[in-house]
Structure 1
């Protein structure tokens, strides 16, 4: 899998902004990706050294429109911890 298709987009919320102080960054990733692939993709794209990767799957919410019921898409999120002096410059403007 290509690194740019593996990492879909960053997650920027109040909680993830707080995590950036601890050198942790959050990304939405491909659901089929494993931790090793995510680590290699982050290192390739951002040229940083990754210390650890934590992942979890989130189930999409069930939504109703009248009598019809559907489900929003599920996604996989990865929290990437970087080595000591590493920073991702992409997030610095946030």
Structure 2
């Protein structure tokens, strides 16, 4: 079994993520590209000591970037939306 820090790379603190947190008790994370929903659920539960009801994932395509005449791409990455049970919160996001 992989380390939780290999599965969950970082929390995503954005306007949309803050709105989801306030409205639907959902939290956004950047996760490893090969992580599945079960691994993500276990990692969030053990890292933040909360109960996760549902995990949804989506793959984000990298963007084209230019530097003068050179064209490159940013990396593709995976995003996870974790829905917590009623009354549960993650304190890390409350200060943001």
After TM superposition, the score normalised by the length of structure 2 is: 0.94
Q: Which residue number in structure 2 is paired with residue 92 of structure 1?
A: 94
For structure 1, the residue ranges without an aligned partner over 5 or more in a row are: none
Instruction: Work out whether 1:15 is the aligned partner of 2:16.
Output: yes
- SS of 2:16's partner is helix
User: Which 4+ runs in 1 deviate beyond 2 A?
Assistant: none
Corresponding residue pairs, total: 94
Q: Which residue number in structure 1 is paired with residue 57 of structure 2?
A: 55
Q: Which residue number in structure 2 is paired with residue 4 of structure 1?
A: 5
Report the Cα distance in structure 2 between the residues aligned to 1:88 and 1:3, rounded to whole angstroms.
16
Q: Which residue number in structure 2 is paired with residue 77 of structure 1?
A: 79
Q: Which residue number in structure 2 is paired with residue 39 of structure 1?
A: 41
Report the Cα distance in structure 2 between the residues aligned to 1:65 and 1:87, rounded to whole angstroms.
42
Report the Cα distance in structure 2 between the residues aligned to 1:89 and 1:45, rounded to whole angstroms.
12
- SS of 1:9's partner is strand
